[in-house]
Amino acid sequence: MKNTAFSLIEVVIALGLFTFCIVGIVGLLPIAANSVKSVSIESNANNIAESIAGIWQVAPTNNITISYSNFPMTNLYIGSSNLSTNYFNEFGQQTDSNSASLRMEYEATDLSVPNANSFSVNMAFYWPAHSTNTNTTTKRTFNYIFAK
């Protein structure tokens, strides 16, 4: 009668291949986690820009201080050009610069020529929030023109 079984060498080779595959998969986890975080932050930037644009569209021209998530976003005035910076955390809530994962810079410009009561808002979102290196910073811009 012939015995059929795996030899010790075959088992060691199979375990080596299995270990090699597992190490490769585990090595990809940080890359996947960073991609998910970047997509989440970009989604927050898009939601914030759309929310501000919606508020801006219906705001009366004599009162333009916008409140986003119960935090007033000052210096967003119709009729002048101002560059301002706000910070947001990973949940899309406005926060101080220390705990921010997303930085928003925006500029509101009066376009009353050629049309009265027309305005331009340019928003730029950067992440990571505190990075000044253009090679490691991601930027997403939104441009809106409103006529009231």
d(CA 52, CA 33) in angstroms, rounded, equals 29
Nearest to 129 by CA among 104, 99, 102, 105: 102
Domain spans of the chain?
A: 8-147
Contacts of 103 (CB under 8 A, 6+ apart): 85, 86, 87, 88, 97, 125, 126, 127, 129, 130
27-52 pLDDT, tens digit each: 999 999 988 888 888 898 898 888 87
Q: Per mean pLDDT, which range of 30-44, 73-87, 103-117 is the poorest?
A: 73-87
